[in-house]
């Protein structure tokens, strides 16, 4: 057996470890608070949904239909269309979330890196961005590439691809179907 002699902690190392443990405890406390908040919101939404179900049931007994009972009826009469509609709504929501995260990243690096961002507003692909850099340099391009490289590693990137290109400021007037993104 081989044993390696280990040095005991000095006071500075012990202090650093204790501080990092406090950070972990704080982080755990914050996560616990976030979980409680999410559970509360779920409980509230479930209570509201239960009230809607109860109301729909009672009204259906006297021949009246609520939006919920109409939706259930449509689902029963054409389940494939219903699944397609739900899938389309989910896709739209996910695309919107990806767009907000992307624009949020642009906002976070805007001060020193990005001058302007334009977003495609055609129906074909709204996750296409034209980026005008403050200074067209390798460093500034790298800041943008870092985000998109990270995104490309996610499974979602295949279903919701994000495209971008760097554009000189003098060509922004020629961008068709593009809308300027507010970065402030």
CA distance 56 to 63: 10
Whether the model clears a pTM of 0.75, i.e. scores above it, the answer is no
Q: What is the pLDDT of residue 124?
A: 67
Q: Does domain 93-180 have CATH number 3.20.20?
A: no
Is a pLDDT exceeding 60 seen at residue 6? no
Rounded Cα–Cα distance for residues 133 and 182 (Å):
15
What mean pLDDT is reported for the chain? Answer: 80
Tokens 């007037």 belong to residue: 173
What percent of the chain stands above pLDDT 90?
8
Quote the distance between the C-alpha of residue 110 and its chain's center. Answer: 19
73 or 33: which carries more pLDDT confidence? 73
């Amino acid at each position: 057996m081989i044993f390696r002699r280990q040095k005991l902690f000095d006071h500075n190392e012990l202090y650093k470890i204790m501080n990092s443990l406090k950070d972990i405890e704080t982080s755990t406390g914050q996560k616990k608070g976030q979980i409680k908040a999410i559970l509360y919101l779920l409980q509230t939404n479930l209570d509201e949904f239960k009230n809607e179900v109860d109301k729909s049931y009672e009204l259906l007994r006297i021949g009246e239909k609520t939006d919920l009972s109409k939706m259930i009826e449509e689902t029963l009469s054409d389940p494939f269309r219903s699944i397609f509609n739900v899938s389309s709504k989910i896709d739209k929501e996910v695309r919107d979330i990806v767009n907000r995260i992307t624009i949020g990243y642009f906002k976070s690096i805007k001060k020193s890196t990005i001058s302007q961002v334009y977003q495609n507003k055609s129906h074909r692909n709204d996750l296409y961005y034209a980026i005008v850099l403050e200074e067209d340099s390798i460093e500034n391009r790298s800041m943008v590439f870092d985000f998109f490289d990270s995104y490309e590693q996610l499974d979602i990137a295949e279903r919701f691809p994000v495209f971008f290109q760097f554009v000189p400021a003098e060509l922004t007037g020629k961008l068709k179907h593009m809308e300027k993104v507010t970065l402030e």
